[in-house]
């Protein structure tokens, strides 16, 4: 689950143009009533849906078919050093992935778990 920290926060719009994915977002906004809650939507070439991801949300996806292609639109350039991440299997988030993840990058596998000191992002 990836995000950019202020002042390099970004809005993303994501669309699946080949295959099918489950796209997941997590609200990281410090003062939000939905803080640390997640939502998911299926994106596919067939349903042609697009997901709008506001600033202050973490984002990740799981491929549901082979040969997936995603199209991203960002409102800001990627800024190394301003990136953050949460573990896809963090028990505090409780994300319900439909398929047991089997291929996970070392970077994603090593993100920290959310603890009681995690304050979120101030937008």
pLDDT of residue 44: 98
Please report which confidence band the pLDDT of residue 116 belongs to, taking 50, 70 and 90 as the band edges.
Answer: confident
Please report which confidence band the pLDDT of residue 53 belongs to, taking 50, 70 and 90 as the band edges.
Answer: very high
Terminus-to-terminus CA distance in the chain, angstroms? Answer: 18
Boundaries of every domain in the chain: 2-109
* Residue 1: Cβ-neighbour burial (10 angstroms; 0-12, 13-18, 19+): buried
pLDDT for 112 beyond 90 = no
Catalytic residue of the set 8, 52, 59, 72: 72
Q: Is 72 considered catalytic here? A: yes
With contact defined as beta carbons under 8 Å apart, do 16 and 42 qualify? no
Domain 2-109 superfamily per CATH: Jelly Rolls (2.60.120.10)
């Amino acid at each position: 689950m990836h995000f950019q920290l202020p002042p390099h926060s970004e809005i993303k719009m994501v669309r699946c143009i080949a295959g099918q994915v489950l796209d997941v977002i997590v609200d990281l906004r410090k003062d939000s009533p939905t803080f640390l809650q997640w939502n998911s939507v299926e994106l596919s070439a067939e349903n042609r849906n697009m997901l709008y991801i506001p600033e202050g949300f973490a984002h990740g996806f799981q491929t549901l078919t082979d040969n997936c292609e995603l199209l991203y639109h960002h409102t800001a350039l990627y800024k190394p050093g301003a990136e953050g991440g949460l573990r896809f299997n963090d028990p505090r988030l409780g994300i319900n992935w439909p398929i047991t993840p089997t291929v996970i990058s070392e970077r994603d596998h090593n993100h920290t778990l959310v603890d009681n000191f995690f304050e979120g992002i101030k937008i």
